[in-house]
Chains A and B, each alone.
Chain A
């Protein structure tokens, strides 16, 4: 992958008569995919070594032997004529599919891969409708390989993508092929479960339903899911993800390709991060002196409190989970000091291909530095409160589990100082201070995060917020508006425009539109990859997942515009 540089010689060749150029040393499959010509394949993946065992990519080449060859392991030679769609090639492909399906259970109705299964897709495109195989199908085991991966041996086509992933990407080598021929299956070594931090990626890599993520298995069907291109809020790596939701609830998070950030991968912790938004400890109602009230009542009280206090006597506290927009608003509407709390470090991991899972579990630590500059953990706020200079603190705490403020600060906050709290969790601050508003989780809000390498990326709301939660941006802007900072309440994009105008050094020239799907580096960032170099020709996840997503877009646009969506209107019809 990485050597697709300009120095490599270009080799002209043809596929089905159309001319293309390959880079020297490139295989037929690679060159075809890079040029946008699709040759079906299972076992080949750009990040893995070539195994050549699925035989799905058969093509005929001239010069070459009279029998078909695998495109994934045939290097393009000058003037090579590749025949990828003649009768002869299609017959070979059909034959391969017949072999693959000979022992396949065909249990698509209960298989969670159905809808994004490459075996289904290619059978539909190239397969036969009948099978000559009348013998009894072999039975292979069905069990959990690790805490989150469920294996169904009968569905496995033995492409060994999962095995190579564990050997070549994570380097943990848990998986292996046991036995031979039609009684072979994938298994772990006894007592060594598949529990590396990236184990969920094996399910993404598996082109069929043999490896599935037991976290979301049997909960929905993939064709119902609507993906939102967002960024994981689990750590400072900032993996690009699709937050896939149905019925306004997130069902799973899958990686999106972004080479400098997360390649094709994401970690298991990140896959679970959407669960932080559905905990019981979440604050989902506004509070006035600890009592649940309507949002509007709380807002009026907060506005009174805010306008009764001079700006210089207002401090703010926030966390490494606040978006750049929220940080900018906090800084704008207060004149007192600020403090930021960070989650403690967690486990780090680096794959052999350079994907770094950061130990820093705060998605926007770099953003805090870019927007606020030099802030401490609340030391100055504490001093201000103790000396009586600070009378009101605006607390904006979107950290899952609640921020863990320093002891001294906690003591100071427990005193007479007033506070307007916007909190994801129902923390002691939200329960005891004057006004509290529920905050949003990253899967519910719009904004931007800056990852560990200085890439500014967009977070997009995938589901709606619970109850009448308005979120940080809305509340902070209402406060700022009452003090005359802004004429009106803006969307996240509008706030970002203000931010870009206010700090041109870091954010100058950046817009939401420009950030697109893969983000842009801030000035002076470590990762300076331009947007058009972030994605290769190969997506994360099964090939047909991407196709399905595109089909779904079209389908939705054409005739699924029902305001009610699928299903019954529950309760109140």
Chain B
């Protein structure tokens, strides 16, 4: 189920393309392997492009490619794997990615606020988790740290 980072439902506009599938028209998401292999064909095609990445991605190596993507999907095979939190933060604040960032896969409602803080705009997650999204996105209002959402630490914000 797809929601935005306020917990509102979103309609899926993207087609997720397997590495073997022929290139269709329209807005598609591809893996890094597909991107690296089919770069030219992908770029000469009509339609928008999105990249799917996993936590072990060396995201810095893709720096010069990022402007081709309207969306980057960070895939969570397991909710306990926190590497994507760092990748999102790096994409936003280091590599300057300004398109949509989406977290997808095994994600708990309780992680949404953290993901939003590191720069995620949308979530694709199980319905059982999505139904608690609004609640958990609003549970904690105090933020001690800087991240993609706020430039100051609590220490700077106080008095």
Q: Do A and B come from one complex?
A: no
